[in-house]
Chain A
Amino acid sequence: MSGIATVWSYRDAFLAGLGNTAALVGLALVLSLPLAALAAVLLVEASAPVRRLGREVVDLFRCVPFLLLAYVIYYGLPEIGLRLGAWWAGLVALVLYNGAYFTEILRAAALSLPREAVEAGRAYGFSRAQLYGRIVLPLVALDAGPVIGNQIVVMIKDTALLMVITVQELSFVANFVNARAFAPFAPFATALLLYWVLCLVAEAGVGLIARERRRRYG
């Protein structure tokens, strides 16, 4: 029971850590999804050489462990004159890394769209922007929703790696409390439970999208 008391006495730190984790995930989502949508459109529309190059870049990001990318950005950005704190470097890493995954997810979904639905849009005089905005994107969002949800779960867990570059997120806090109080079980168990809750929330979101998709597509 002393463990619970320890965690309780550090509740502010845990809340701050949880807040940091949630803020990183939320902000990274808000930034990376539109970027990925744009990149996916470019990958679909661009000329063949550009398309190939784009896919190579996306594949490269997907081959690199997230921690390594975070390191490269944390230590690499100052080399090109950009001095960011750990938190911001972590955010950049999250956005780039997940942006690459989202791009691939959206691209694949766009490629498997019902051809005729898109063609009907053209036949009815939609401009290219309208075609994307009103037909392709809504369809892709419903199609790719569950896969994006899974990637969000991966993203939540990736934020934990940012403790290594000293971002004060949930795992950093748990480790900090463990080091201070010499009682490992309660802080780490608390962190794991909180991650579980975050992931369950994300999965519930996926469930909602999946339900909406079933309602519309059957």
Chain B
Amino acid sequence: MRIDSLEHRPGSGFRDDGRRAAPDASPDAPAVSARRICKAYGGTEVLRDIDLDVAPGETVCILGPSGSGKSTFLRCLNWLEEPSSGTVLLDGQPIGRLPGRDGRPRPMNARELAAARTRVSMVFQHFALWPHLTALGNVVEAPVHVLGRPRSEALAEGRRLLERVGLAERADAYPHTLSGGQKQRVAISRALAMRPKLLLFAEPTSALDPEMVGEVLAVMRDLARGGQTMIVVTHEMAFAREVADRIVFLDGGRVVETGTPDAFFTRPHTERAQRFLARYAR
């Protein structure tokens, strides 16, 4: 394991020039604006020219068969995966690459990247809770140590967030004592504690026993209704249909179809989407 095997090496000839990020973009700037995202491993292209804009408050569900590149694309949005080419703006500000002195883009250094990532939170398929910290400890860890919030304030907010996902009484439990559904709800609280502009969900219910899927989806539904900007990679068709403002359908590393849930589920106009729905939406 290399801690940063997926990110840029720092000190690659550029120094942090101390330039602060641009002041807040206009209020109607997209929460995410991804342009021409390509990703290739060796010779295989997994993402080809993907564009995506997500407006503040919008919930977008990304659907597609396994291997379609939807998870890779999601990981490109917070630069856990570095796209081969393309740009991502979060809330109007770039992540991953900045304009360099000579006008050509240069990779962000570790500090810039860490700062950019605080604007977006991610919920992982396998929860990725920190096993040495309690539920509450997981929730307050990054707000205190990355954002520098006062501990008491973070603890109070953390308890509120755990209460919101119905886990107030498990605040002091270690992750291994929680069920899968509880772990994922803690993970969602942890993500919310960052007060992110954007919340990414990477197949949040795929690792759960069937009877626990509902409790996690219920929390996500509440968030979407509360106006949280979300991008959800999922196989839960009923959830996507009910909650999403927009469906993006990926296949073979391309956006094949995009539209309202109603249009996508009732009148898919590409053959690939029709085939996909015939297989999964029953």
Contact = CB atoms under 8 A, between A and B. Distances in A.
Contact of B145 (A122, A126, A142): A126
Give the bracket for the number of chain A residues in contact with chain B. 20 to 34
Contacts, number: 93
B128 A119 contact: yes
A54 to B, nearest CB: 14
Contacts of A134: 141, 145
B129 interface: yes
B132 A142 contact: yes
A165 B131 CA distance: 46
B1 to A, nearest CB: 6
A70 B13 CA distance: 44
Interface string B117-145: 11001101011111110000000011001
B114 A127 contact: yes
Interface in A166-180: none
Given A116-B126, A119-B124, A217-B176, A124 B142 contact: yes
Contacts of A130: 145-146
Nearest to A41: B3
A110 B132 contact: no
Given A113-B1, A119-B128, A217-B174, 4 more contacts: A44-B2, A45-B3, A115-B1, A117-B129
14 contacts: A44-B1, A114-B128, A119-B124, A121-B130, A122-B4, A125-B115, A127-B146, A131-B3, A132-B3, A139-B131, A215-B174, A216-B132, A216-B176, A217-B174
Interface of B: 1-4, 6-7, 78, 80, 110-111, 114-118, 121-122, 124, 126-132, 141-142, 145-146, 174, 176-177, 190, 194
